[in-house]
Chains A and B, each alone.
Chain A
Amino acid sequence: MKRLVLALSLILAFAAPSLAVQPDEVLDDPALEQRARDISGDLRCLVCQNQSIDDSDAELARDLRLLVRERLVAGDSDQQVFDYIVARYGEFVLLRPVFQAHTIVLWIAAPVVLLIGAGALVFAVRRRRDDSGGGGLTPEERAALEQLSKD
């Protein structure tokens, strides 16, 4: 039994996941480290499912974290770091999509839907107000309108 436990703990030592950010990765300069963490939070771990490299245990994520820190120590700006990583790993690595021709629909979809919705509401209100001017009301509508103004 003891041998089994020993064997299993060996498996454990090799198979168990490593942690995300490791202490030996952390930069000495806290400001630089914070920038590294922020950038890592916006970069995708390529072998995981929708995880940032900051959260991921994967080996590749660790490599990327080190790369980010290396560039920061070398004096790159945040944008330069992103450009550097994208040049190597492609746009897929960005958790926050860029704002360009091919992503314009993505970025403006929500505002446009909101505007269309709001526009439709304003239109509906206007039309109703015009109707209440008198023309083209059915008797029920007129009754409803009177009811409304009574309350």
Chain B
Amino acid sequence: MGALISSFIAGLIFGVGLLVSGMANPAKVLGFLDLAGAWDPSLALVMGGAIGVASVAFAFIIRRGRTLSGAPLQLPTATQIDRRLVVGSLMFGVGWGLAGFCPGPAIVAVGLMQTKAVIFTLAMLAGMAIFEWLDARRAAAIRGR
């Protein structure tokens, strides 16, 4: 139960942060990505502020090695720079630039009952499901080899 409450609160603070910062507004995101137009540098400060807090907090928590209740941390273990990382990130950047939405802000905008955000989010979930399907097929093909 505690894990559900802290997860909800983390999501809530995260979402409010996206709204306060302007990240949840695709027009503002595109204003940041449009270097050749009238450039709005705000989002660099969003990243700077977020990384400023998280890097200090993470350093303490990772050194501690456990959650507050003593459970082990579940950090990503992959270290390899592979094609999946680069191609996937490239795709994400293109999609981000097309509509101005990345996953977090899209879900927050769904909470505002924005029809366009719902359309984007459903397509995004479909994309994630397509990935899972392709990934499962790939894994099966590797096993069958």
Q: Do A and B come from one complex?
A: no
Residues of B within 8 A of A (CB): none
Residues of A within 8 A of B (CB): none
